Structure 1
Amino acid sequence: MDFLPISLRLQGKPCLIVGGGKVALRKAELLLRAGGQVTALAPAFCPELERLAQEGKLALRRKAFAVPDLAGCFVVIAATDDRALNRAVAQAAQQRGILVNAVDQPESCDFILPAIVDRAPVVVAISSGGRAPVLARLLKTRLESLIPAGFGRLAELAGRFRAQVKQAIADPKRRRSFWEQALTGAPAELLLAGQGAAAEAALAKALEESSALAPLGYVALVGAGPGDPELLTLRALRLLQEADVVVYDRLVSTEILNLIRPEAEKLYAGKSRGDHSLPQETINQLLVRLAKEGKKVVRLKGGDPFVFGRGGEEIETLAGEGIPFLIVPGITAALGCASYAGIPLTHRKYAQSCLFVTGHRQGDRPNLDWDKLVVPRQTLVIYMGTLGLKEICQALIEHGMPQEMPAALIESGTTARQRVIVATVATLADRTRAENAKPPALIIIGEVVKLRAKLAWFKKTRLA
């Protein structure tokens, strides 16, 4: 190890930057974030440093460097484009016992400034010892996506409870186990979802029940999006990789299921027409039971759980049972499939409104408010309408929709299996039957479908 990682307290400490350009600016901004009293010294300064000085955030000294300028400094950064000057600044500082960094000259440095992931008070520093700064920044980018933005608030919450936990749980091993469960369980997930008061209440309850055999778990209602795993939110991905149990639907793609951590239990709760693997009430009670067993549960639904996903029914049950829960929205099938098909749902020239409906049938015909569906300059998006497509199209025509109205069916949208069938409202049912289209599929009807010929961009790569 070439450099020992340490954390310096700079609050109120005098910090000198020798240099007035963009590099000096970046170093000044970093020192200011840490609370340092920053002075920049150079014959001239870039506009951004001038602005910071005008705002009273740092001081500027318009002069060439001289050794007396080091008096009283806690740290010094040499950030000019003159390597010889940087080296001279470093030598002078080291002779006076002042910590110094010479930018891009590790041989002249007492310390180096790492790439930083800032989740204050949690801070992650990544360093290559000055050998490969770009590599350190690439690693920082990866960690930024893995560490939630609210991680610092989680540390603050733990800090507020630290003394209480230490007093309530004397045994260090049990105390460590309590914190591991709390910081990966309901209190943590509620806080990261922005529910500070609920998180604090959950942590207090967990402390009260710390002697219980099984701590209370939680349920995360997660939208899996339309199929492409890269459309998952960062929070959804993290929860999938932390879950004990994942209860998933038929519309969740195999590629997304492959992202679940291998040790997690996977429970299928899918539904298709005439085949309900688990009735909805059974699913609701399953989620309650798993959470009461102390499990971290992800309820994974295709698209968004609040758009024709019955997510509201599930969280009603959880709320009634006092189970902590959070909701992670997903990209809806309508938004994802339309985008990947090159069909904008609204357009100034063609559509000023968009209506989402389901094509579920009661008896032999879909039960829809047809007059509201046949509206000029409106895009109609139909979920779960493949089986009743012929009846839907006939009814739309009967209620005044022009037979030549453009229409499209998007099968397995956003995935490598995506197929888009474009026709008219009069011919779409016959076309999809002839081409043996199958669910999952989304139907879009409206003038906007005309734009697909010009805007189609997604080039699918079929899986082997």
Structure 2
Amino acid sequence: MHSLPLFVRLAGRPVMLLGEGEPADAKRRLLERAGAVIVGEEASAALAIVAIEDEAEAQAAIARLQARGVLINAVDRPDRCDFTLPAIIDRSPVLIAIGTGGASAGLAAALRQRLEALLPATLGPLADRLYALRAAIRLAFPALDTRRRALGAAFAQGGALDPLAAPPEAVETWLATPTAPIDRLVPLRLRSADPDDLTLGEARALALADRIYAPAHVPAAILDRARADAVRILCDTPPVTREAGLTIWVEWA
């Protein structure tokens, strides 16, 4: 992973914007949508976007700002960027960012267009309803691990809260008959070291797993498909006792 994606709240905060023309105008529109206060180089800000077309002038501005400790996005100069601006799918409050680390803005835009067609307009209202009912969800599932597993099962494809199909009112229906998730041990038999060879079901199981048992020689690329907070236990044999939640035993010769 070449960068750590972050969502930064810019409402009311200053961001420097240097440059003129369409590249600068495009960045200005994006910053205005985020509520940023756009300022010049003479102001104080933690972030700056350099959209200057002249190469020598742009490099000089970048050097000055970096000397001040300002994080920079340099338009069309990915090797000089401290951060990049992704293609964005806006289903507020749900935001999906697609980045290529500056390798190809066109590729990011193409992916955004494809994903836009998959994500329903109900996705934002569904998130709003979940937020409004968060107290009721905590009451139905008091334990954090149980709540996370219950939501994970509900959000799965075909689940009660499938994000691509469920209307906002489905949250109340789901809460009316809360069901605690079943403790499971699922074997996952790898066919190759390539994570793209995982089936959809296998990838989903890794993404939902509470803990993963695996031999030390299992490729890191496979384990990276799991949640960052899933417990990883390196061992050569599967667990002998049933544990709470979803446990994955990865097998690979």
Q: TM-score, normalising length from structure 2?
A: 0.62
Partner of 1:155: 127
- How far apart, CA to CA, are the structure 1 residues paired with 2:148 and 2:3? 30
Q: Report the Cα distance in structure 2 between the residues aligned to 1:29 and 1:22, rounded to whole angstroms.
A: 10
Which one of 109, 113, 133 corresponds to residue 85 of structure 2? 113
Larger gyration radius, structure 1 or structure 2: 1
CA distance, structure 2, for counterparts of residue 174 and residue 124 of structure 1: 26
| Secondary structure of the corresponding residue to residue 96 of structure 2 | strand
8 Å Cα contact 2:89/2:95 also seen in 1:
yes
Q: Offset at 1:212?
A: 8.7
Partners of 2:166 and 2:99 lie apart in 1 by: 32
Matches within 5 A, 1:105-254: 105-180=77-152, 182-183=154-155, 184-185=159-160, 189=165, 191=167, 199=169, 202-211=170-179
1:3–1:129: 8 Å Cα contact kept in structure 2?
Answer: yes
* CA 116–134 in structure 1, closer or farther in 2 if over 3 Å, else same: same
CA distance in 2, matches of 1:149, 1:85: 43
Shift of 1:186: 6.4
Map of 2:44 onto structure 1:
72
Classify the secondary structure of the residue corresponding to 1:97: coil
Change (3 A) 1:149 1:208: closer
Structure 1 residue 143 displacement after superposition: 1.0
Which whole-Å CA distance do the structure 1 matches of 2:45 and 2:154 have between them?
43
Residue type matched to 1:132 in 2?
S
**Conservation of the 8 A alpha-carbon contact between 1:90 and 1:101:** no
AA at the equivalent of 2:91: R
Q: Which amino acid is 1:112 matched to? A: T
Deviations 1:386-417 (A, max 9, x none): xxxxxxxxxxxxxxxxxxxxxxxxxxxxxxxx
Q: Cα offset for 1:28?
A: 0.7
Q: Which residue of 1 aligns with 2:23?
A: 23
The amino acid that maps onto 2:141 is I
Distance (whole Å) between structure 2 residues aligned to residue 212 and residue 95 of structure 1: 55
Distance 1:114 1:83 in 2: 23
Distance 1:190 1:132, change over 3 A: closer
Q: Contact between 2:100 and 2:108, CA under 8 Å: does it hold in 1?
A: yes
Give me the whole-angstrom Cα distance separating, in 1, the residues matched to 2:160 and 2:142: 21
Q: Taking structure 1 as reference, are residues 205 and 144 closer, same or farther at Cα in structure 2, changes over 3 Å only?
A: closer
Query: AA paired with 2:133?
Result: F
User: Which residue in the other structure is 2:221 paired with?
Assistant: none
Q: 1:88 aligns to what?
A: 60
Structure 1 residues 212 and 128: CA distance shift in structure 2, 3 A? closer
* 3-state SS in 2 of match to 1:3: coil
Change over 3 Å in CA distance of 1:3–1:187 after alignment to 2: closer
RMSD value, Cα: 2.4
After TM superposition, what 4+ stretches of structure 1 lie above 3 angstroms from structure 2?
Answer: 171-174, 180-184, 186-190
- Are residues 30 and 72 of structure 1, via their aligned partners in 2, closer, same or farther at CA, if it must alter by over 3 Å? same
The answer (yes or no) to whether the contact 2:18–2:52 under 8 Å persists in 1 is yes
Q: Given residue 123 of structure 1, which amino acid in structure 2 is its aligned partner? A: L
Task: Tell me by how many angstroms 1:116 deviates.
Answer: 1.3
How many angstroms apart in 2 are the aligned matches of 1:156 and 1:86?
42
Opposite residue 118 of structure 1, the aligned amino acid is D
Give deviations 1:145-175, integer Å, cap 9, x for gaps: 1122331221111111122211221234442
Percent of residue pairs identical: 38
3-state SS in 1 of match to 2:133? helix
Q: Which whole-Å CA distance do the structure 1 matches of 2:95 and 2:75 have between them?
A: 22
Matches within 5 A, 1:332-371: none
Q: Cα 1:187–1:113, aligned 2, differ >3 Å: closer, same or farther?
A: closer
Q: 1:145 to 1:73 in 2, by over 3 A?
A: same
- Give the Å deviation of 1:185: 2.5
Equivalent-residue separation in structure 1 for 2:50 and 2:44 (angstroms): 16
| Distance (whole Å) between structure 2 residues aligned to residue 71 and residue 28 of structure 1 | 16
Superposition TM-score, scaled by structure 1 size: 0.35
Separation in 2, partners of 1:85, 1:149: 43
Deviation string for 1:15-73 (max 9, x for gaps)?
1211121111110111111110123x6xxxxxxxxxxxxxxxxxxxxxxxxxxx34312
- Deviation digits for residues 171-230 of structure 1, max 9, x if unmatched? 344423432455443696463xxxx5xx1xx423432321499xxxxxxxxxxxxxxxxx
Distance 1:174 1:36 in 2: 39
Q: Offset at 1:2?
A: 2.6
For residue 209 of structure 2, what is the aligned residue in structure 1? none
5+ residue gaps, structure 1, are 42-68, 214-464
2: CA distance, partners of 1:136 / 1:71? 32
1:98 matched to 2:70: yes
The runs of 5 or more residues in structure 2 that have no matched partner are 182-253
